[in-house]
Amino acid sequence: MGSPDVVAAVSTRLVRIPLHRPWGPDVPRLHVIVVEVTAEDGTVGTGFSWTPTIGAGAVRALLDEECTRFVVGGPSDPAVVWDRLWRHLHEAGGGGVTTIAMAGIDLALWDLRCRRLGAGLVDVLGRRRESVEVYGSGVNLHYPLEELVAQAARWVEAGHDAVKMKVGRPDLAEDVERVAAVREVIGPGRRLMIDANQRWDLPTARRAVAALSRFDLYWVEEPLLADATWAYAQLRVAVDVPIALGENAHTIHRFRDLLDAGACDVVQPNVVRVGGVTPFLRIASLARTYGVAVAPHLLPELSGQLALCLPEPTLVEDVEDASFAALGCLAEPSGVTMADGRLTVDGSRPGLGLTFA
């Protein structure tokens, strides 16, 4: 029998998953590239890469052509593989498609490692708490006001103490009306976050945050282009609402630049976009040295597991009807449960607990 510490094979398959609630006319589905890494002893680990819009074909091609050739025959330690693979792929770009593809390998190797230990990811990393708060979220800028209000009411009914909505309508008065309506539905005791998805420039962001801050905002997310570091630093000193960003930052180097610039109060690494568990943990540790909070972006079945292992309590995002379980793309339960505004992991499944149908 071969060694459990050597990668023997890598395989991929692309799964297109229709969204029950499309994120807009251009986002009717999600794309998941399921990645299986097999060790020489026959042990298999399963990971995934993910993209909601473009790039799934490019990610899979990079996995099949470059990542596979590089990792087969090498070690199965995720941290060792990650650094070597990133240097190998760096010529194709330090982040973006590169790190999204790398996430498939990294997650599969973590799954492999945990299965070999007979434990779930949370207990291998070190469980620090039994549950983490989940906030209700929605990709809802295109919703009519009545539909947005109905969604907010569902979040309240589901037991969420924090909710997030999209802003950035062409007329600021529309944003004011919509935020006011959601605040009225959720009441004064719940936290309300807004997400502009990079729609504003600096002057517009100043005006918008000034107009919306009276609704007691917990944070404003991605008010500016994600790469506009200088502008973020200027905005942060000009407004009283905390700034969150990071879902479109792909490397620890980019997070370091944002933190050095004092650009934000909350960082939001997406575990797939940054390249997997290995870099996510490094980014979380870096943010902690700056005293900046970490709130994982999307993918609650995996982000929630990581959140249970972070030193400080945080919030996990659950976009309505968009978790893997809600989309029906898992062949069996993951062990992750979200109920009454809290996420728990029962620890009964080894590895990441994600088996895609």
Question: Is 297 assigned a catalytic role?
Answer: yes
Given the residues 160, 164, 166, 250, select the one marked as catalytic.
166
Beta-carbon contacts of 344 under 8 Å, excluding residues fewer than 6 positions away, are 130, 131, 336, 337
Beta-carbon contacts of 355 under 8 Å, excluding residues fewer than 6 positions away, are 46, 330, 331, 332, 334
Q: Compute the distance between CA of residue 296 and CA of residue 284 in angstroms, rounded to an integer.
A: 9
Question: Is 164 assigned a catalytic role?
Answer: no
- The backbone torsions φ and ψ at residue 335, rounded to the nearest 5 degrees and listed phi first, read 90, -10
Give the three-state DSSP class for 6: strand
Rounded alpha-carbon distances, angstroms, from residue 163 to 118, 119, 308, 324: 36, 33, 20, 20
Structure tokens at 188: 């004064």
Beta-carbon contacts of 205 under 8 Å, excluding residues fewer than 6 positions away, are 196, 223, 224, 235, 239
Structure tokens at 169: 């309508």
Beta-carbon contacts of 230 under 8 Å, excluding residues fewer than 6 positions away, are 261
User: Could you tell me if residue 46 is left (phi over 0), alpha (psi between -120 and 50 degrees) or otherwise beta?
Assistant: beta
Q: Quote the crossing angle between the two packed helices 97-117 and 78-89, to the nearest 10°.
A: 160
Q: Which of 335, 254, 265 is nearest to 300 (CA)?
A: 335
Is 24 exposed, middle or buried, given 0-12, 13-18 or 19+ CB atoms closer than 10 A?
Answer: middle
Q: Which of 291, 316, 287 is nearest to 303 (CA)?
A: 316
Strands 342-345, 293-294: parallel, antiparallel or unpaired by DSSP? unpaired
Residues 146/149/154/157 CA torsion (nearest 10 deg): -130
Catalytic residue IDs: 166, 297
